[in-house]
């Protein structure tokens, strides 16, 4: 059985990030011997920057202690979920990756190539690894365009070596085509969509603090304006729903881990979100959802991933109209989307088989 190493973002207690990590590991493990590589991007930094980052990490831990147990409990929940994933025993820098006994390395998914999040580093690009072992699965740049010369040079230097490349967004394909004139790039579904709802139920868990059977799940990575809050509060009042703000640090639900997130998504009356992965799980669990453009000052737009999602699955009516939550938003029919998803899963499987059989 061939051995496969997954290189992805593992230093982030983010639901979507951790669930895509699990999904790709779980899916590949059906056919191959798979481990997720513990990687240490900070090891690629100069000593002074590594030292500063270590201090910042200590400060963050101290801040969690001051803010209360919700934050520490949340971190513990993610650690528990990590036990469902098989990692390498040690952490590795890019210089040591090729010394491992993997037949192939797959980069992805999530925003593994987003330069504005500190990615596009040597590990994410599999520097020092035999090019014949390198491919990406649904890797994301997270943005629709890259203009900085530094990042353009990195892409032009590193991406041509990949045996096979697949990205998550159409914009990612266009970036690669424009910068290295590579036309054989596939646009594939996020790993979370490779698993069906039943498979996700196997790692789902009801939050202990959940006391209601009818609630609106708010999952906003950006800001939430008063106008949007009022629209959500109105639909909650009209339908006798509570509102769960999952990322509110003062809420008891903030301590939920990925398993609890899955349960909340599956059983929500409706999901209001600016998150890609929250939208994905609404589709997988056949729940109505509304996509809001992210509100966040000083941050480059990352709406391309959501745009690709709703266009690919013909779900443009999931977008918030800017004024109110409508009856159409609450009602939903994903029958056409599921037909598309079936085709996309077949497409993804063929890509992975091609990449891992070195065809």
Q: pLDDT digit string (tens) for 250-303?
A: 899 999 999 999 999 999 999 999 999 999 999 999 999 999 988 765 555 556
Residue 233 in contact with residue 282, Cβ under 8 Å? no
CATH entry 3.40.50 includes domain 205-336: yes
Q: Is the model more confident about 200 or about 71? A: 200
Mean pLDDT of the chain: 88
Of 257, 305, 270, 333, the residue nearest 85 (C-alpha): 257
Equal CATH topology for 3-195+342-356 and 205-336: yes
Domain range summary for the chain, segments of one domain joined by +: 3-195+342-356, 205-336
CA distance 274 to 280: 11
The pLDDT value recorded for residue 41 is 60
Who's near 305: CB < 8 A, 6+ residues apart? 140, 142, 168, 169, 276
Who's near 97: CB < 8 A, 6+ residues apart? 5, 7, 37, 105, 123, 126, 127, 128, 129
Min mean pLDDT across 18-32, 52-66, 121-135, 162-176 is at: 52-66
**Per-residue pLDDT for 52 more than 70?**
no
The pLDDT value recorded for residue 43 is 54
CA distance 182 to 178: 8
**Per-residue pLDDT for 109 more than 80?**
yes
The pLDDT value recorded for residue 74 is 86
CA distance 243 to 228: 13
Q: β-strand 134-136 against 33-39: which pairing, if any?
A: unpaired
The pLDDT value recorded for residue 304 is 75
Of 167, 113, 121, the residue nearest 141 (C-alpha): 113
C-alpha distances in Å from residue 63, one per residue of 50, 53, 117, 180: 20, 15, 22, 44
C-alpha distances in Å from residue 182, one per residue of 93, 162, 177, 228, 355: 28, 11, 5, 41, 17
CA distance 277 to 264: 13
Fold for 3-195+342-356, please state it: Rossmann fold (3.40.50)
Average pLDDT over residues 59-83: 70
Residue 309 in contact with residue 279, Cβ under 8 Å? yes
The pLDDT value recorded for residue 116 is 85
- The upper half-sphere exposure of residue 49, i.e. CA atoms within 13 Å in the direction of its Cβ, equals 7
CA distance 309 to 280: 8
């Amino acid at each position: 059985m061939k051995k496969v190493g997954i290189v992805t973002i593992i230093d982030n207690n983010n639901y979507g990030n951790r669930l895509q990590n699990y999904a790709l590991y779980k899916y590949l493990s059906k056919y191959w011997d798979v481990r997720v590589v513990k990687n240490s991007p900070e090891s690629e930094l100069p000593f002074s920057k590594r030292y500063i980052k270590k201090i910042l990490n200590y400060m963050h831990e101290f801040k969690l202690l001051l803010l209360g147990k919700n934050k520490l409990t949340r971190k513990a929940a993610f650690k528990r979920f990590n036990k469902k994933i098989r990692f390498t025993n040690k952490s590795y820098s890019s210089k040591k990756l090729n010394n491992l006994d993997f037949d192939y390395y797959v980069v992805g998914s999530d925003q593994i190539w987003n330069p504005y999040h500190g990615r596009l580093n040597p590990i994410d690009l599999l520097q020092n690894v035999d090019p014949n072992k390198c491919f990406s699965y649904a890797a994301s740049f997270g943005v629709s365009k890259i203009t900085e010369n530094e990042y353009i040079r990195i892409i032009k230097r590193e991406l041509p070596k990949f045996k096979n490349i697949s990205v998550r967004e159409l914009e990612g394909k266009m970036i690669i085509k424009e910068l290295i004139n590579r036309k054989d790039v596939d646009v594939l579904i996020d790993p979370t969509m490779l698993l069906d709802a039943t498979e996700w139920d196997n790692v789902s868990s009801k939050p202990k603090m959940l006391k209601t059977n009818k609630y609106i799940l708010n999952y906003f990575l950006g800001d939430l304006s008063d106008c949007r809050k009022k629209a959500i509060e109105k639909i909650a009042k009209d339908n006798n729903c509570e509102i769960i703000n999952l990322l509110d640090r003062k809420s008891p639900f903030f301590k939920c881990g990925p398993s609890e997130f899955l349960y909340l998504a599956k059983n929500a009356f409706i999901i209001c979100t600016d998150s890609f992965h929250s939208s994905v799980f609404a589709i997988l669990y056949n729940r109505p959802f509304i996509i809001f453009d992210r509100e966040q000052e000083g941050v480059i737009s990352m709406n391309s991933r959501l745009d690709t999602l709703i266009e690919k699955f013909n779900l443009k009516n999931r977008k918030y109209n800017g004024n109110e939550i409508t009856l159409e938003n609450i009602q939903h029919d994903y029958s056409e989307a599921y037909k598309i998803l079936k085709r996309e899963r077949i497409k993804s499987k063929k890509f992975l088989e091609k990449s891992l059989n070195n065809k």
